[in-house]
Chain A
Amino acid sequence: MAKRFGVLEEEKVFKDPVHRYIHVRDELIWELIGTKEFQRLRRIRQLGTTYLTFHGAEHTRFNHSLGVYEIMRRMVETIEQDMAWDSEERLVCLAAALLHDIGHGPFSHSFEKVFHTDHEEWTKGIILGDTEVHNVLKVMGEEFPKKVADVIAKTYHNKLVVSLISSQIDADRMDYLQRDAFYTGVSYGHFDMERLLRVMRPTEDQAVFKHSGMHAVEDYIMSRYQMYWQVYFHPVTRSAEVILSRILHRAKDLYEQGYEFKDKPKHFYSLFSGKITLGDYLKLDESVILYYFQEWQEEEDPILQDLCRRFMDRKLFKYVECDPSEQMKIWPELIQLFNKIGLDHNYYLVIDSSSDLPYDFYRPGEEEERVPINLLKPNGDLRELSRESDVVEAISGKKRTDHKLYFPKDLLDNQQTFAEEKQRILKLLMAQEG
């Protein structure tokens, strides 16, 4: 039998602003970090277009993945003695934590919306396909890559392991909340992770939390709630996402119409035709995408040119709050007016809904599919968090949806032409805000 990875002669450490140090003791983890697929994550920002709102948000999926690994390492240290795991289960956990985002591409969220790709499928493809990551994992045994992929896909037989990386309180969220707070510079997003890890108790299906640690869990839930509204749902970031997705739509439409690009977007061809291979996908990163956006500012097509300039120079769309049940009454008139002034409403009048965003809130249960956070009472009973905590109960049932209507106010304010129509559009749009 071939030699499996063991322990490094000397522990390696990465200096990290969130966890101070990230410790690597296992050869397997060290080798995975060195693969080209993992190194590619250095060129993919964790928060996509958020850097256009919070200029510090330049951190990458690479930082975050190391952070999730470090939290998982600490969790496993606490849990493995109680659960009598073998050494392989421990390594499955660590590798899954490190690789959980390996399939993310540049500006994943917009790409997935426009091209209907799924980063989780790519994650599986990278772990099981012909890649350096797969070759490293395989050293641990033929079945090992599949086990890691199953944990990430939440289809692994050991539900406790799955819950550590993907549940309502998991290593992934614990890292990104703290990391995103640190890099955006906001004062929310902080919670006492050390305390959470100390009060965590493993059960067969999930990790639960000692009742005495409820306030630490509350703190975590509040951080999550505030980060969603203050950072992840930020309307300016959403404006940048709207423009980004319109650029991708426009480029695809032009390609399908047989438009001759000055600089052929060869990296996009397989995406446009819906026949993207793993090799094509791995060549995509943010440098590549931003190169094309830079070039497309010089394209003949006025829409593509304008949208790319807006994105690159941060001349974003403005927005009004909108109620689609009211909006539908004025929508036909708005479309007609946009057509009249020569603005294609498909690109310049966009409703963005909270359900278009990839983040979710804590919810307690009730015919829900996600396992709730449970507190362990001194008598051994389990109680769902919101039934014990007034703070969590207060925010669990709150409205968490909103819709915004994005449009290029600068073009409507310029009333040298079609003044009457533009004034009417602005009046209709502003009336939405009440």
Chain B
Amino acid sequence: MLNEHAKLLAVFKQTGEIVGRKKLQKLIYIAKKMNFPFFEKYQFHFYGPYSEELNLRMEEMCHLSFVEEVREKKAGYYQYRYTLSEQGDEFLNLSNYELPEEKGILNELNEQSAKFLELVSTILYFDDLPKEEVADKVYTLKAKQNYTETDLEEAYQFIDRLKASSQGQVS
């Protein structure tokens, strides 16, 4: 029953709290690219890969009180914090769903800033292109974020580390 919902609940169980919708979107996308079994459909949007399906699923889980959502006012925008609720935990236990790894990649992703995850997910979105073309895409489509060459290099190193970890842990 609601297996895809259960997977997301398992993410909250593992990471504790995820701050920001953008971070959540990118975290799931990157995990998916690392062969985690998420099937939410992504398209390229304003901040990079984005899934309307994931967004709606989160809304469902908030309505069902499986996930607690706290809205905080920030300078010029609202930010959302997400945690697993008691009811969500109960549902997760009943569904018997377990993520392919206990700790590691998801926590590591959650420790990064949303801006950095936006860059990493954008690079992964264009992973069929040569590096120079990826850089062109980043500088053109993300002009307002002012990513530097060093940022890109750091993102590539991060991706390499993720790939190395995921090969051992995700089946």
Write the residues of chain A forming the contact surface with B, with a CB cutoff of 8 angstroms.
112-113, 116, 118, 120, 153-155, 157, 323-325, 327-328, 331-332, 351, 353-355, 360, 366-371, 399-401, 403
Contact = CB atoms under 8 A, between A and B. Distances in A.
A360 B45 CA distance: 14
Contacts of B50: 369-370
A112 B137 contact: no
Contacts of A325: 64-66, 87, 91
B89 to A, nearest CB: 12
Contact of B64 (A113, A120, A155, A324): A324
Contacts of A400: 56, 59
A360 B53 CA distance: 9
7 contacts: A154-B44, A360-B56, A366-B77, A369-B21, A400-B56, A400-B59, A401-B59
Give me the 10 closest cross-chain CB pairs, A-B, nearest first: A355-B56, A369-B50, A369-B45, A355-B57, A401-B60, A154-B44, A360-B52, A366-B78, A325-B64, A157-B140
A103 to B, nearest CB: 13
Contacts of B95: 328
Given A116-B39, A154-B43, A369-B25, A351 B64 contact: no
Nearest to A368: B21
Contacts of A324: 1-2, 5, 64, 91
Interface centre among A112, A328, A403 (most CB of B within 10 A): A328
Given A351-B1, A351-B2, A360-B52, A401 B63 contact: yes
A268 B57 CA distance: 30
Contacts of B21: 367-369
A353 B1 CA distance: 11
B60 A353 contact: yes
Contacts of A154: 43-45
Interface in B75-117: 77-80, 87, 90-91, 94-95
Interface string B1-23: 11001000000000000001110
B41 interface: yes
B141 A155 contact: yes
Interface string B46-79: 1100101100110110011110000000000111
A220 B2 CA distance: 33
Given A325-B87, A401-B63, A370 B46 contact: yes
Contacts of B2: 324, 351, 353
Contact of B43 (A120, A323, A332, A371): A120
Given A328-B94, A353-B2, A400-B59, A153 B79 contact: no
Given A325-B64, A325-B87, A353-B60, A371 B137 contact: no
Contacts of B20: 367
B41 A118 contact: yes
Given A325-B91, A328-B1, A367 B77 contact: yes
A327 to B, nearest CB: 7
B60 A328 contact: no
Nearest to B47: A369
Contact of A367 (B22, B60, B91, B140): B22
A118 B39 CA distance: 11
Given A113-B39, A325-B64, 5 more contacts: A112-B41, A331-B94, A360-B52, A367-B22, A369-B47
Nearest to B71: A366
A242 B43 CA distance: 24
B146 to A, nearest CB: 17
Contacts of A366: 77-78
Contacts of A351: 1-2
A117 B2 CA distance: 20
Contacts of A120: 43
